[in-house]
Amino acid sequence: MKHRGILRALVMTNGVLLVAAVLAFGRVAEAQPEASRPRGQYTMVSGKTNQGGPHAVYVLDAASREVVALRWDQSKQTLVGVGYRNLETDGRMTQGR
């Protein structure tokens, strides 16, 4: 009898955990609505930066006309964003001296 009670409690606990996992992870995560941003066409180039130091990787998205500069941070073992430019906005700006 005692084993049935323990077994029943374990089955109930597993059921609750299963429902919680489905609710937590069952949803589809979207960073942006699909209609707001076209599919990207990416080109990646390595190059020097104006600040010196380690080289950066420049990622160009031709579809959205954006450029992101990334640098490898050895201590954190991650890519760190160095800069961002919107080429469409830059193209509309009038150049001065």
pLDDT in tens, 51-95: 777 789 999 998 888 999 999 888 998 988 988 999 988 888 877
In the chain, which ranges are E strands?
42-47, 56-61, 66-73, 78-86
| Mean confidence (pLDDT) of the chain | 79
The pLDDT of residue 67 is: 92
The pLDDT of residue 50 is: 78
Alpha-carbon span 7 to 94, nearest angstrom: 75
Looking at the domain assignment, is residue 38 inside a domain?
yes
Looking at the domain assignment, is residue 47 inside a domain?
yes
Sorting pLDDT into bands at 50, 70 and 90, what band is 35?
low
Looking at the domain assignment, is residue 67 inside a domain?
yes
**Is-above-0.85 flag for pTM?**
no
Looking at the domain assignment, is residue 35 inside a domain?
yes
Looking at the domain assignment, is residue 85 inside a domain?
yes
Alpha-carbon Rg for the chain, nearest whole angstrom, is 25
Domain count of the chain?
1
Helix or strand run (H / E) with residue 14: helix 2-25
88 vs 25, residue with greater confidence: 88
Alpha-carbon span 96 to 71, nearest angstrom: 30
The whole domain housing 69 covers 2-92
